[in-house]
Structures are given as structure tokens and as C-alpha cells.
Structure 1
């Protein structure tokens, strides 16, 4: 007898292949556990039907109805997240959030979709919750009926999943706005530095790791934090605060040239310093100062200046 059936209308060849691949993988897995189970795909145009058949009771085969419902529901959830989620996310973002223009909408959408694809970091918990919500909700539908029309279910029954997407969208919009504010602030700092007259010929920025920095002048003497550093930052923008006082100290001494000695040139903080000071900044990974303060020998030298010169490094 037919135990379960899933019907879906596919719009593209990609959707057809995705549905067939995920359900095929799941039926192979189930067949290993319970050989008497039988599976079948049938298609008519864009409409695909997948069925699972077998004799009752399932427990005599070592498979419980609960386990079978859960396994099939997991496969359907995987299909939705892989093939349908981005389209659903885009619709939700457009319908529920206001944007200034099409360009801003497109940028937020790309950031949102990128977060949805990630399964680590801050996105990991969202991903786990969405998959669980889908799996549990589909399994509940199979308790009510052995037949699942996936298109109808996605239209009328996936409220919990859409709420998870909505929370993810809110997080993406907030992160995007923070990122925008950060970019604007860095651009403001860069503009301020560009028009600032150099007050010191050379500054060495020794990056010890993480947010640990040592600032030295051209004679390798420590540069003390100036009392007016905060005033410099306040002059730039009273509404913005920056935790890393390295930036404010560097802006206050306004070096004509700044050499950043680091073993981690791709760190965001290093790239930010390079961006703010632009042509004045150079990144060094291998010189006498690097060896003395950081130990060992680096393998490369990078620069963001138009005319790299490490003679004074």
C-alpha cells in the first residue's frame, strides 16, 4: 500500500533535478534500513510525484512510522532550503521592508542571500532553526494525511518557517545598515586624513596580533597617546565612537608615512588602517623591525602606496 506521496510542480529543470537528487538519496538511505520499502518517481510535464509504498505494520521491518515521517520530512525540508528558499526570501524582503532605491534593495538582498547560504558563524543557529521548523511542520502534515501537495503547503502552511525567514531578514537589514555606517565613517576618516598636514615623518605600527598594537616613531620610540586624541575624533563626527584608539592616535600625529608591520596582512583591522591612510600607508611582513618585534621571518611584503619604498622600514 501507498504510505506517503509528495507532489510538486517544478518551474525549472534545476528544480526537477534537485527534487529527484535529494529524494533519491533519501530513498537509498531508507532502503538500506528497510529493504521492503518501495519508491517511485512519476512525472507529467512539470508535475512530479514521489511515492513510498510498503506493507504494514512497519515495526515488523524495524522502521517506525515516526522515523519514516521524520526522514522524508528532512528530505523535503532540504529541497525547500536548497531550491525555494532564495525566491521566498527575496519576496519577503521586498514585501516587508522599505528601501530608498533599487540599488540599496539589491545590495541588502545579496547580503541576505549570502547569510542564508552560510552554515557557520552567526548564520548557523538561523540555519538550524529553519531546517528544524520545516522538518517538524512537514512531519506534522504527514500525521494528518499521507499525501503532501508541496506547493499548497508552501502557500498556506509554512507560517513558522516564514517567521524564521523574517527574523533572518531583520538581522540582515540591521547588519547591512551597520556596515553602511562603518563604511561611511571610514570614508569620513579617509577624507579627514587626506586634507590633514603631516605632523610626523614616519610612524611604525607594530601589530602584535588581534587588536594589540605598538606605535613607534621613526626612531623606534613609543608614541604616547595624546590627550587631544578624543577631540580629534569628536571633531570628525560627534555621533560616532570608535573603540580602537590606535586610529585616533594615528590621526592626531598625522604621519607622512606609516608602515604597518604584521604577520596577518589580510585582517580587517589592517585593511581598514590601510584604507584610511591610503597612499601614506604601507604593509610590511618581512623586515628587521618585523623580525625584532614579531619574531621569525615573514614571507611577503605588501603595499598600498603608489611608490613602495622600504628603505626606511
Structure 2
């Protein structure tokens, strides 16, 4: 007895192979849980179909019909998220947002698609939510009918899933624009530092961890930020955050040489500091000064 069939339109042989690969992997899991199930693939020029059949009675099965629908829904969800999601996401992004610059639009799209792949952190929350909505939608369809046409499902039954993608697109566009603005401002600061005359021969930047910094002069005495009403400094104060007050102070004192002592050289704020001050800056993970203040550590190579 045929239990269900899943079909989808395909344009290329690669699409057929992807459908077969993903669902073959999932059907192995299904078959392990219920040996009575049998699966088959069939394909025409523009369509591929996955069918599942099983012997009655249901009482002889090692899984319930409901569990079978759940597991099948997860399998089809995996296919949509791997093979179809980026196409759906790109269509939604370009229908929701207008871009004046084609190159920038392409970069934002790539940023958006990269975020969609992340399964951890804030983007991972979106990933889990989309996966859950897709799986629930497919499960409902299989409850209504054992024949599922994925083209129709993706056209008419994806409202809540597409809303998730819209929210993700908004997040991606906002994050990209903020990142661009920050990069442009960091470049401005680097340009400003390049032409600024040094006011102090040496500054030690002691990074104690997280957002905790200590600034010392060449004699290891604390540095207080001088008042400076310059345009760049005013904008820096307005736009940058807690750790960026360190950047503001360093630009104001304009060291000829700056040593950043840290045990976390890969942190964005450390990388940004080194980038802004360029050849004036060096990063140290083990020297007499930072060993005394931060404990033993490793030397940057």
C-alpha cells in the first residue's frame, strides 16, 4: 500500500541528484525505525517523485503513522532548506528592498545567504525557527493528503516561513549597512591618524579582558584623555561605544608608538585598534610590562 508520495519539479539533472541524495539519507533513518517501509524514486524530464509504501496492518509497524509523517516532514524540510531556500530568499529580498547599486545588492545578498546557513548564535535562532515552521507545515499537508506536491506547497503554504525569511532579510540589510558605515568610519580614523603629528612617544594599551582597558604612558603612568573639540573626535564620541572610548583617547593623545598588551589578540576591538594605528601599533601577548599586569601568556608571532 502506498503511504505517501513527495514530488517536485526539477530543471536540471543536478536538482534530481540533490533530491535523491538528501531524501535517500533520510529514508535510511526511516527504514531503521520501521523495517516494513519500502521507498522508491522515479523521475521524468522535469519532475522527480519519492514514494513510500508499507504492508498492512499498521499494528505490525514499529513506528506509528503519525511518527512516520513527522520523520518524513523532517526529511522534506532538509531538502527545502538545502536546495530551495536560497532561491526563495533571494526572490523575497529583491521583492522587499530596492537597491540603487547592483554590486552592493549582490554583496548584501551574499551576506544574507551566508547568515541563512548559520546554525548557531542569533542567526541560528532564525534557522531553528524556519526549520520548525517548515516541518510543521509539511506535517499538516501530509495529514491532509498523502500526496505532496512541493511546488504547490512552496507557492501557497509558506506564509509563516516566508515571514521568517523577510525578518532575516531586514536583519541582514541592517547589519550590512551598519558594518559598511563602521568600516568607512574606521578608514576615516586611519586616514586621520596617518596625517596626525605624534603627541606622545609611547603608549601601552593594557587589555584586561572584555571591555576593560588601561592606558599607560611610557613610564607606566595612567593616561587621562585630553579635551579635543575636533570634528573627528566629536563624531567619534557620538558614534562609537564603550570600548571605542579607548580609540577616542588614543587618537587624542596620538602616540608615535603603541603597544597593545592582550591575551585575546583575535578580538574585533584589538584588530580594529591595530588597523587604525597601522605601523604605529604592535600587539604583544608576553613581555615584562604585560606579564606583570596580565600574568604569563604567549608571544604573538
Q: TM-score range by the shorter chain?
A: over 0.9
CA RMSD of aligned residues (A): 1.9
Is the contact between residue 4 and residue 51 of structure 1 (CA under 8 Å) also seen in structure 2? Answer: yes
Give a deviation string over 1:80-117, Cα, whole Å, max 9, x none. Answer: 00011111111111111012201110111111011000
How far 1:225 moved relative to its partner? 3.4
The answer for the alignment partner of 2:156 in structure 1 is 156
How far 1:207 moved relative to its partner? 1.4
Does residue 101 in structure 1 map to residue 104 in structure 2?
Answer: no
Give a deviation string over 1:152-187, Cα, whole Å, max 9, x none. Answer: 221222222111111110111111111122112212
The answer for the alignment partner of 1:58 in structure 2 is 58
Is the contact between residue 205 and residue 213 of structure 1 (CA under 8 Å) also seen in structure 2? Answer: yes
The answer for the alignment partner of 1:191 in structure 2 is 191
Give the stretch that moved more between structures: 254-263 or 239-248: 239-248
The answer for the alignment partner of 2:290 in structure 1 is 290
State how far apart, in whole Å, the 2-side matches of 1:36 and 1:242 are: 61
3-state SS, counterpart of residue 298 of structure 2 = coil
Distance 1:121 1:230, change over 3 A: farther
How far 1:4 moved relative to its partner? 0.1
How far 1:65 moved relative to its partner? 1.7
The answer for the alignment partner of 1:23 in structure 2 is 23
Is the contact between residue 40 and residue 52 of structure 1 (CA under 8 Å) also seen in structure 2? Answer: yes
The answer for the alignment partner of 1:9 in structure 2 is 9
The answer for the alignment partner of 2:242 in structure 1 is 243
How far 1:41 moved relative to its partner? 1.0
Distance 1:109 1:207, change over 3 A: same
How far 1:211 moved relative to its partner? 1.6
The answer for the alignment partner of 2:166 in structure 1 is 166
How far 1:22 moved relative to its partner? 2.0
How far 1:239 moved relative to its partner? 5.0
Does residue 200 in structure 1 map to residue 214 in structure 2?
Answer: no
Distance 1:12 1:115, change over 3 A: same
How far 1:78 moved relative to its partner? 0.4
Give a deviation string over 1:259-296, Cα, whole Å, max 9, x none. Answer: 11122211101011011112211112232223222221
3-state SS, counterpart of residue 122 of structure 1 = helix
TM-score, reference length from structure 2: 0.93
Give a deviation string over 1:96-149, Cα, whole Å, max 9, x none. Answer: 101220111011111101100000011111001111111111111112211111
State how far apart, in whole Å, the 1-side matches of 2:118 and 2:236 are: 35
3-state SS, counterpart of residue 214 of structure 1 = strand
3-state SS, counterpart of residue 48 of structure 2 = strand
Is the contact between residue 225 and residue 253 of structure 2 (CA under 8 Å) also seen in structure 1? Answer: no
Structure 2 unaligned blocks of 5 or more: none
Distance 1:159 1:56, change over 3 A: farther
Distance 1:31 1:297, change over 3 A: closer
The answer for the alignment partner of 1:274 in structure 2 is 274
How far 1:233 moved relative to its partner? 5.7
3-state SS, counterpart of residue 202 of structure 2 = strand
Does residue 89 in structure 1 map to residue 89 in structure 2?
Answer: yes
Does residue 119 in structure 1 map to residue 128 in structure 2?
Answer: no
Report the number of matched residues. Answer: 300
Structure 1 unaligned blocks of 5 or more: 302-313
